[in-house]
Chain A
Amino acid sequence: MQFKGTEKISSDEMEKSVSRSGGAWNAFTYLDWTTYYETMPADKIDIALELEADRMVNTTYDEKEVESERTVVISERQGRENSPGFLLSEALHSAAFRIHPYGHEVIGDKVDLESIQKNDLHRHYKTYYSPNNAVVSIAGDFDKEKMLKRISDLYQDIPSGNDPPRVNRPENPQRGEHRLTVEGPGETVLGDVAYHTPSASEPDFFPLLILDSILSGPQGLNMFGGGGISNKTSRLYKRMVEDKEVVVDIHGGLPATIDPYLYTLKFILHPNSTADDALMILDEEIQHIQDAPPHMDELKRAVKQTQALFAYGGESITNQAFWMGFSKMFASYEWVTKYLENIAAVTPDDVQRVAQQYLQQNNRIVGIYHPHKKGNYNQ
């Protein structure tokens, strides 16, 4: 709805003013935050500053537009439901969080998408979209003083709202492993194994990032290009894909969140293997790192990979602006400026300790997607 226009700038004009400048713009909602971004030629940045100041508080919520957008969002959800990976992930999050809203997919459930009314949307907008709940992050070729003055001029008179309520629904500690299965079309078995982990502002987050890099390959923070690094020498890839051939691919993910979330390992099962075989090998590798700290060379490699990903991502001005705003959401701007320093300070013992503390079976959810029938495609 934030693309539907304000009293001052119509939806059409919003789209055109950014695009005709050669700018790129969009928005996305994550678990904890929503970001609106524009990447503009340096001399056209004012268009974005003005547009965001306006739609922070002035979006018109028109009944007809709500209905048109409703079907678009339902269509977006239906597109995702086509993917077995989405179906599995949705079931897994729901099992991982009974109390905290992290148990819901960001896109929402269809029943809610069908019933949300204009007033619900407007209430959300009025509650969360105010200067006291916003961060403006800007990177690029500009004069700092002039830019700060321009931002003050545009944003300082927007009235602050009440501080929005924060989610305070801590999840109870998990008491024992949860296992679930999802069935659907296809021929490929997928597996997700998720462990409850601390929020990104906790010191343990950095050793967990290194642990993830050692187990399943480096991730990095790049949302806007910069590429990745392969994970062929990570422990789980070597053992599960190469040595034992129980899976054809495996990746890990540790999202940075405000509240404790999940470290998730996702694999695609080898057609000649079983999910139990894959889990057995995975558990052996986890046991291995819990029993002995990683070798210093492995740690150094993980650190160098992180530095490289940071350098690659930093070529994009959009990544630079994103990193600053993103880190402010769950910690502070210093989180990103000290990111490489904190990564480099992790010791082998730290990695072993977090593996022992968090990668426990009674702290995890195992989800398996089982195809219930053979596919039907012939050339």
Chain B
Amino acid sequence: MTEQDFSTLNIKSLPGPDDITRIQLKNGITLLFRPNMNSMAVSIGGYIQAGSIYDTQDKLGLADFTTSTLMRGTKTQSFQEIFDSLESIGASLGIGCGPHTAGFGGKALAEDLPTLLKLLADVLINPIFPKKDIERVRSQLLTGLDLRAQDTNSMAMLEFDKTLYKGHPYQYPSDGYIETIEAIQVKDMAAFHKKHFGPKEMTLVVVGPFEPESVISLAEEHLGGWLNEEQVGPLQVPDMATPENSVENHHIIKEKSQTDLVVGTIGPSRRWEGYYSALLGNSVLGQFGMMGRIGESVRKKAGLAYYAYSALSASIGPGQWMVLAGVAPDNRDKALDLIKSEIKKFVGQPISSEELRDVQSNYIGKLPLSLESNAGVASALLTMEQHKLGLDYLQNYEKMIQKITPESILEAAREYLDPDRLIISSAGPEL
């Protein structure tokens, strides 16, 4: 095969200040819109500052439970009426919960945007939490927790979070525990909704075949009148230091054929100045090609795992930098040794210039693909807004990636990764 040219982007085709409309409604909602006249459909997305970090310890899962029930009925529509409006036009709308925010996303054929926005506004503003529906959702959530308890991947992550973020709001699972879900009452949800759902710091993104004026007017019509004096502002979460020592734990789930393993530590937040160095470094460590150096060592050479990769999870607060693998129970320790050895190598010396060139080219080349759908553009706009990256973020992206050097990657890696201070969690049969 021939040597390839470095990918370059057609900057003008990327969403930017010229074609993204960003305005703030009078009640504080930020609206971002980008037209796509070639599409027959519309995507919406957004978030409200109502995530699981606002849960109290005796009612973990409250934010998640509340968001799961917003669509169970409003002052004017029942659950079936809400879904009848949506499904009869082939539209979708979902609301979920992360650590900081309750996020929503939806799709419809272009002509049905008014219906979609009207429904979104109704379920966000006017939920009534009907008792019978709440019990139905509670059964579903409890069944979900039963299934989670049998899932080696989820349980390894749960143990990892609990150990890594000890003493921090991130240590708790957003879906709670059986006893905390059982303790939550309708009045808790109504109170949570009153306190955390409102237009302050809310963002709405729309991407589809429209003129900006029509989208602004629809957003004003359905969400512009929403006020909530009792809504509290966003909570700042504390930073978190790298663990002082390595800690290892194993959660036993009997009769399983595979053990899931998570090895990692605290990672950067999304707004850390060295984020892109960490991002590209992570790609070399466990993403590029068939999962980078980790894939090469654990999967390809040793044949120990079907999946083995590294992940950088960076958002508002302290993030995670981790390696994940699914291995035969007998191979857990062998895989762990290989992972530790790769981390040691990674923080020991700079990556090669060829490796840097590979991952730079990969990140630049795959950007347009991530923006091919309306949902992809909506997701990018949400990230830009949430982390205050600026409307020219995508157009500056290539330059930012090009600036990264092997040395800046080594510096980022050393800032966070220490082979002697790792949290090692696994779940599977007895060791």
What is A's interface to B at a CB cutoff of 8 Å? 3, 8-9, 11-13, 15-24, 39, 41, 44, 47, 50-51, 67-79, 81-84, 184-188, 217-218, 225-233, 238, 241-242, 245, 248-249, 268, 270-272, 297, 301, 304-309, 311-312, 314-317, 375-377, 379
Bound-complex Cα distance A346 to B177 (A): 47
Complex CA–CA separation, A41 to B89 (angstroms):
34
Name the CB-closest residue of A to B85.
A233
> Could you tell me if A81 and B92 are in contact, using CB atoms closer than 8 angstroms?
no
Across-interface contacts of B88 in A (CB, < 8 A): 233, 297, 301, 304
CB neighbours of B255 from chain A (8 A): 184-185
23 A-B interface contacts by CB (under 8 A): A15-B289, A20-B7, A20-B359, A20-B362, A20-B365, A22-B369, A24-B366, A24-B369, A41-B365, A75-B304, A78-B257, A79-B307, A82-B151, A187-B146, A188-B150, A217-B87, A225-B375, A238-B80, A245-B139, A271-B142, A306-B90, A312-B107, A377-B253
A15:B146 contact, CB within 8 angstroms = no
Contact among B41, B84, B89 with A315 in the assembled complex (CB-CB below 8 Å)? B41
Beta-carbon contact of A311 and B306 below 8 Å: no
Beyond contacts A308-B90, A312-B41: 17 other A-B pairs, Cβ-Cβ < 8 A, are A8-B1, A17-B1, A21-B7, A22-B364, A51-B1, A68-B300, A69-B303, A72-B304, A75-B326, A78-B328, A79-B326, A187-B150, A268-B147, A270-B139, A308-B108, A311-B109, A316-B372
Residues in B with CB closer than 8 Å to A47 are: 1, 4
Query: Which residues of the partner chain A approach B289 to less than 8 Å between Cβ atoms?
Result: 12, 15-16, 18-19
Chain B positions within 8 Å of A77 at CB level? 257
A379 to B155: give the CA distance in the assembly, Å: 11
**Are the CB atoms of B366 and A70 closer together than 8 Å?**
no
B341 at the interface (CB under 8 A from A): no
Q: Which of B146, B327, B362 contacts A188 (CB under 8 A)?
A: B146
Q: Which residues of B contact A317 (CB under 8 A)?
A: 372
Distance between B421 CB and nearest chain A CB, rounded to angstroms: 25
Report whether B306 and A232 are in contact in the complex, using a CB–CB cutoff of 8 Å.
no
In the complex, A50→B375 CA distance in Å? 31
CB closest residue in chain B, given A238: B80
Q: Give the distance in Å from the alpha carbon of A187 to the alpha carbon of B306 in the complex.
A: 27
CB <8 Å contact, B4 and A21? yes
Residue contact B306 to A72, C-beta cutoff 8 Å: yes
Q: How far is the CA of A226 from the CA of B152 in the complex (A)?
A: 28
Residue of A75, A308, A375 touching B41 (CB-CB under 8 A)? A308
Q: Which residues of A contact B108 (CB under 8 A)?
A: 308
* A68 contact from B92, B147, B301, B365, Cβ within 8 A: B301
Tell me whether B92 and A75 are in contact (CB under 8 A): no
B368 engages A41 (CB within 8 Å): yes
A217 to B88, CA, bound (A): 11
Chain A residues contacting B359 (CB-CB under 8 Å) are: 20
Give bound CA distance, A348 to B197, whole Å.
Answer: 44
Please provide the 7 A-B residue pairs with the shortest distance between their CB atoms, ordered closest to farther: A22-B365, A308-B90, A15-B289, A76-B306, A22-B366, A68-B303, A232-B83
B7 touches A9 (CB 8 A): no
Are A230 and B87 within 8 A (Cβ)?
A: yes
- Selected from B7, B90, B361, the residue in CB contact (under 8 A) with A305 is B90
Q: Judge if B345 is at the interface, Cβ distance under 8 Å.
A: no
For B306, list chain A residues within 8 Å (CB).
72-73, 75-76, 79
Inter-chain contacts of B253 with A (CB < 8 A): 185, 376-377
Asked if residues B305 and A20 are in contact (CB atoms below 8 Å), the reply is no
**Measured between C-beta atoms, what is the minimum distance from A124 to chain B in Å?**
20
Q: How far is the CB of A261 from chain B (nearest CB, A)?
A: 26
Q: Which of B300, B326, B358 sits near A20, CB closer than 8 Å?
A: B358
In B352-411, the 8 Å CB interface with A consists of 357-359, 361-369, 372-375
Closest beta carbon of chain B to A251's beta carbon, Å: 14
Contact, CB under 8 Å: A188 / B147: yes
Residue of B nearest to A229 (CB): B92
- Residues on B with beta carbons closer than 8 Å to the beta carbon of A13: 1
| Residues of B contacting A74 in the complex (Cβ-Cβ under 8 angstroms) | 328
Q: Which of A20, A70, A233, A304 has the most CB of B within 10 A?
A: A20
Interface residues on B, range: 35 or more
Assess whether B23 is interfacial by the CB under 8 Å rule: no
Given A21-B4, A47-B4, A271-B143, also A230-B83 (CB < 8 A):
yes
Contact of B80 among A24, A242, A248 (CB under 8 A): A242
Given A75-B328, A308-B89, A315-B39, decide whether A188 and B358 contact each other with a Cβ distance below 8 A: no
* A242 partner, pick from B84, B86, B136, beta carbons under 8 A: B136
B152 to chain A: closest residue by CB: A82
* Contact residues, B126-167 vs A (CB, 8 A): 136, 139-140, 142-143, 146-147, 149-152, 155
Q: Which of B79, B91, B363 interacts with A22 by CB under 8 Å? A: B363
Question: Once the chains are docked, how many angstroms separate the CA of A115 from the CA of B1?
Answer: 35
Given A41-B369, A72-B303, A316-B373, A19–B90 Cβ distance below 8 Å? no
> Does B252 lie within 8 Å of A376, measured CB to CB?
yes
B299 to chain A, nearest CB (A): 6
Question: In the bound complex, how far is the Cα of B86 from the Cα of A232, in angstroms?
Answer: 10
A79 touches B140 (CB 8 A): no
Identity of the chain A residue whose Cβ is nearest the Cβ of B364 in the assembled complex: A22
In the complex, whether B30 has a CB less than 8 A from a CB of chain A is no
- Whether the pair A309, B136 counts as a contact (CB closer than 8 A) is no
* Contact of B237 with A by CB under 8 A: no
Whether B362 and A19, one on each chain, are in contact in the complex, defined by CB atoms closer than 8 angstroms, is yes
Q: Which residue of chain B has the shortest Cβ distance to A305 in the bound complex?
A: B90
Contact A41 B7 (CB under 8 A): yes
When C-beta atoms are compared, the residue in chain B nearest to A68 turns out to be B303
Determine which of B92, B150, B361, B364 lies in contact with A228 in the assembled complex, contact meaning CB atoms within 8 Å.
B92
Q: Which of A15, A75, A76, A379 makes the CB contact (< 8 A) with B177?
A: A379
Please indicate the chain A residues that have their CB under 8 angstroms from the CB of B37 in the complex: none
- Cα separation A304 to B89 with both chains bound (whole Å): 6
Task: Give bound CA distance, A319 to B150, whole Å.
Answer: 33
Tell me, yes or no, whether B187 is within 8 Å of chain A by CB.
Answer: no
Residues of B near A82 (CB, < 8 A) are 151-152, 256-258
Assess whether A20 is in contact with B361, with CB atoms less than 8 Å apart.
Answer: yes
Q: Does B40 sit at the interface, judged by CB under 8 A?
A: yes
| A233 in contact with B328 given A23-B365, A82-B257, A185-B150 (CB within 8 Å) | no
Residue B290 at the chain A interface, CB threshold 8 Å: yes
Q: Which residues of A contact B361 (CB under 8 A)?
A: 20-22
Are A229 and B87 closer than 8 Å at their CB atoms? yes
User: How far apart are B8's CB and chain A's nearest CB, in angstroms?
Assistant: 10
A50 and B1 in contact, given A41-B7, A78-B328, A309-B90 (Cβ under 8 angstroms): yes
Measured CA separation A79–B366 after assembly (Å):
29
Residue B288 CB within 8 A of the other chain: yes
User: 0/1 per residue, B106-118, Cβ < 8 Å to A?
Assistant: 0111000000000
Distance of A249 Cα from B372 Cα, bound (Å): 32
Which of B90, B136, B146, B290 is within 8 Å of A186, CB to CB?
A: B146
Tell me whether B254 is interfacial, beta carbon within 8 Å.
yes
With contact pairs A22-B369, A47-B4, A50-B1 given, residues A232 and B87 touching in the complex (Cβ less than 8 Å): yes
